[in-house]
Homo-oligomer: A and B are copies of this chain.
Amino acid sequence: MKPCCFSLLKAAPLFKGLSETELQDVSACAKESRLLRAGHYFRQNDAARRVFVLTHGHVKITQLSTEGTQVFFRVIGPGEIFGIIGGFGENSYPVSAYSEGPATAWSWDTKCLLSLMEKYPKIALNVIQILSRRIQEMQDRFRDLATQRVERRVATALLRLAAKSGTREADGILINMKLSRQDLAEMTGTTLFTVSRLLKTWQTGGLIVSARQRIKLTVPHALAQIADEIPIPTPRTGK
């Protein structure tokens, strides 16, 4: 394993707290999966045989409902784990993992990871922490979807994305991945039309700069303000 990747694994939340030698042991049974271009790491309903840790790129986690509508659950960035959900209980992935461009991940056979967790309980505890966080995040998003209006949800989504994979630039924070209106709509439970209109408004107002599949937040704190506005606001203006 290349040293750079090794240090990335070392920093991954999944392996936090492991010693150097333990990490060696762990990485012994890992396999590198590299995508040279856009493609799937796995598809919904595939047999869940492996668990992944992304080392490079971005992965979109989506789910297709039986009727064909798609929802977008999360973006996986470097260091993050994915594909852990189907592996233990049911034996198939409940979601698809897709990358829009080149990406690299290390992966472990599910059974192998299971025995690693028994050998090093620390890993299991890390998994528990990661899953806990993820539940909280899903709960938050569920709450937003249930109680906030579209504008806030989209603003929140943009900020979340910027925090996760934004790069600071002179004139704002660029969200560093392909991101269509459709993607944002699937994340926030709305339609691409509505997202398009919203972004347009914000762009006109100077809050963002958007191009095809690319969004830069020029005034993030204004978005944050929108994201924190009163909830189902404004029956009537106070007069």
A84 to B69, CA, bound (A): 33
Residues of B within 8 A of A65 (CB): 143, 147, 231
Residues of B within 8 A of A121 (CB): 117-118, 121, 124
Q: How many residues of A contact B (CB 8 A)?
A: 42
- Chain A 100-145 interface residues, beta-carbon cutoff 8 Å to B: 114, 117-118, 121, 124-125, 127-129, 131-136, 138-139, 141-143, 145
- SS class, residues of chain A in contact with chain B: helix
Query: Which among A69, A135, A230, A231 has the greatest number of chain B C-beta atoms within 10 A?
Result: A135
Is A89 interfacial (CB-CB < 8 Å)?
Answer: yes
Residues of B within 8 A of A95 (CB): 139
Say how far A140's CB is from chain B's closest CB, in angstroms: 8
Residues of B within 8 A of A139 (CB): 63, 73, 94-95, 138
If A94-B139, A124-B121 touch, does A189 touch B131 (CB 8 Å cutoff)?
A: no
Query: Which among A94, A139, A186 has the greatest number of chain B C-beta atoms within 10 A?
Result: A139
Is A217 interfacial (CB-CB < 8 Å)?
Answer: no
Q: Is the CB of A67 within 8 A of B231?
A: yes
Residues of B within 8 A of A59 (CB): none
Residues of B within 8 A of A231 (CB): 65, 67-69
Of all chain B residues, the one with the shortest Cβ separation from A185 is B146
Q: Is the CB of A67 within 8 A of B131?
A: no
A63 to B146, CA, bound (A): 12
Residues of B within 8 A of A199 (CB): none
A145 to B139, CA, bound (A): 12
Is A232 interfacial (CB-CB < 8 Å)?
Answer: yes
User: Which A positions have Cβ atoms within 8 angstroms of B?
Assistant: 63, 65, 67-69, 71, 73, 84-85, 88-89, 94-95, 114, 117-118, 121, 124-125, 127-129, 131-136, 138-139, 141-143, 145-147, 186, 188-189, 230-232
The 5 closest A-B pairs by CB, nearest first: A146-B189, A67-B231, A124-B124, A131-B131, A138-B138
